[in-house]
Amino acid sequence: MKCMNIPIKDITSEVTCSTCQACCCHLEVMIITDTGVPDNHITYDKWGGQTMLRLDDGWCSALDRDTLMCSIYENRPLICREFEMASSECKSERAVHGIIP
């Protein structure tokens, strides 16, 4: 039988959220526009600045720990909306948490 030379895509080297551990949800996320983030997920500094609350495990409190999905996806902050999968920031956050690439 003739061997066909079909290129095989190596999905193990793809940078996608499905091969991640929500690494970017460890970052400090400032809330700079009103997207309707529920107040129980917000922490305030002494000047009234708002950031996403992070819990002792380092993750944002809005992250569902079982699914590693955002539990407030429709209301997530602007910074989360603009964080690009496979960007250099994404890859560097993955590297910090030992997920290469």
Amino acid in the structure at residue 16: T
Decide if residue 60 touches ligand SF4 (CB under 6 A): yes
Stretch that binds ligand SF4, among 1-9, 43-51, 89-97 (CB under 6 A): 89-97
Decide if residue 24 touches ligand SF4 (CB under 6 A): yes
Decide if residue 53 touches ligand SF4 (CB under 6 A): no
**Smallest distance from the beta carbon of 48 to ligand SF4, in angstroms?**
20
Decide if residue 23 touches ligand SF4 (CB under 6 A): yes
Q: How buried is 23 (Cβ within 10 angstroms: 0-12 exposed, 13-18 middle, 19+ buried)?
A: buried
Question: Binding-site residue total for ligand SF4 (CB under 6 A)?
Answer: 22
**Smallest distance from the beta carbon of 60 to ligand SF4, in angstroms?**
3
Q: Which residue bears the tokens 């690439």?
A: 101
Tokens representing residue 22 in the block? 């929500």
Q: Which residues pair with 69 in a beta bridge?
A: 64
Tokens representing residue 62 in the block? 């809005």
Q: Which residue bears the tokens 């091969």?
A: 19
- Per CB under 6 A, the list member of 40, 76, 98, 101 interacting with ligand SF4 is 76
